[in-house]
């Protein structure tokens, strides 16, 4: 039975560590192709230039989080609302050879795939903080360009909002495709990276959603299966 390997020295993903370039340095040292400052700035500029007409170009901005952004946003926001988007669903479909895994044993993190629906958290950034906060978000989510940022309509209890979110780029070499659930369970249960065990990423996301009353049945099932695998490994040790 596979067991998680001893974790390397962990890096805490915080606003300060992102701004200091710690995450970028970690990825660069691991040989990952990192977007340049100019590429990130151009990506942000393109998103702002293509914002829906419903959004004031000098006003506040919304961001939709569906994974770790829910429980560890690491950016400043003025408001947050529970929300739901249609046409996309979250799935463990992005290999991570550093953050939640290693080059020898890559982990998996969530991305948005076409189809279905997804619950999560919509965050409103104040207009005077948009530039700074988007830079932090892009340094985290668009580190290597594995996601495609796009605008989505988020349904909330206080009415719909247009928000930026990050969908998977199927052309990126780190895209894992539609893995069988057994494989997802194996990877999540065993991978460990500089940001900690892959299990933490799954458990905290599932627990955060459940705590918000937005329980995701697929994540809850994965959580139960991973917990059972870990318990079995402990019994066999």
**Can you read off the two tokens belonging to residue 95?**
């290999």
What confidence score (pLDDT) does residue 58 get?
74
Q: Whole-angstrom Cα distance, residue 15 to residue 74?
A: 5
As a whole number, mean pLDDT of residues 139-156 equals: 95
The yes or no reply on domain 15-236 and CATH 3.30.590.20 is no
As a whole number, mean pLDDT of residues 29-56 equals: 89
What is the pLDDT confidence band of residue 3, given thresholds at 50, 70 and 90? low
pLDDT tens-digit readout, 165-209 = 999 999 999 999 999 999 999 999 999 999 999 999 999 999 999
pLDDT beyond 70 at 9:
no
Ramachandran category for residue 221: left, alpha or beta (phi over 0 → left; psi -120 to 50 → alpha): alpha
What confidence score (pLDDT) does residue 37 get?
93
What confidence score (pLDDT) does residue 229 get?
95
As a whole number, mean pLDDT of residues 37-47 equals: 96
- Give pTM, 2 decimals: 0.93
Q: Give the strand pairing for 147-156 and 161-168.
A: antiparallel
Q: Whole-angstrom Cα distance, residue 80 to residue 101?
A: 30
Higher-confidence position of 25 and 155: 155
Active site amino acids: 141
User: In sequence order, which residues have a C-beta less than 8 Å from that of residue 151 and are 6 or more positions away?
Assistant: 47, 50, 51, 52, 162, 163, 164
Side-chain half-sphere of 81: how many Cα atoms within 13 Å?
17
* Mean per-residue pLDDT of the chain: 92
């Amino acid at each position: 039975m596979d067991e998680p390997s001893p974790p390397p020295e962990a890096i805490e993903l915080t606003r300060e560590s992102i701004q200091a370039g710690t995450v970028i340095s970690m990825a660069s040292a691991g040989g990952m192709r990192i977007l340049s400052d100019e590429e990130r700035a151009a990506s942000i500029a393109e998103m702002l230039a293509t914002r829906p007409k419903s959004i004031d170009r000098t006003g506040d901005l919304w961001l939709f989080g569906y994974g770790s952004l829910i429980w560890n946003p690491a950016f400043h926001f003025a408001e947050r609302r529970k929300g739901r988007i249609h046409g996309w669903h979250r799935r463990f479909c992005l290999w991570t050879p550093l953050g939640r895994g290693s080059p020898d044993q890559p982990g998996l993190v969530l991305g948005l795939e076409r189809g279905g629906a997804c619950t999560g958290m919509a965050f409103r950034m104040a207009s005077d903080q948009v530039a700074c906060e988007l830079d932090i978000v892009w340094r985290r989510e668009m580190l290597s360009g594995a996601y495609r940022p796009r605008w989505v309509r988020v349904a909330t209890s206080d009415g719909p909002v247009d928000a930026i979110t990050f969908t998977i780029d199927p052309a990126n070499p780190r895209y894992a495709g539609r893995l069988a659930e057994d494989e997802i369970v194996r990877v999540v249960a065993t991978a460990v990276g500089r940001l900690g065990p892959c299990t933490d990423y799954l458990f905290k996301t599932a627990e955060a959603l459940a705590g918000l009353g937005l329980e995701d049945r697929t994540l809850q099932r994965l959580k139960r299966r991973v917990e059972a695998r870990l318990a079995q490994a402990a019994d066999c040790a």
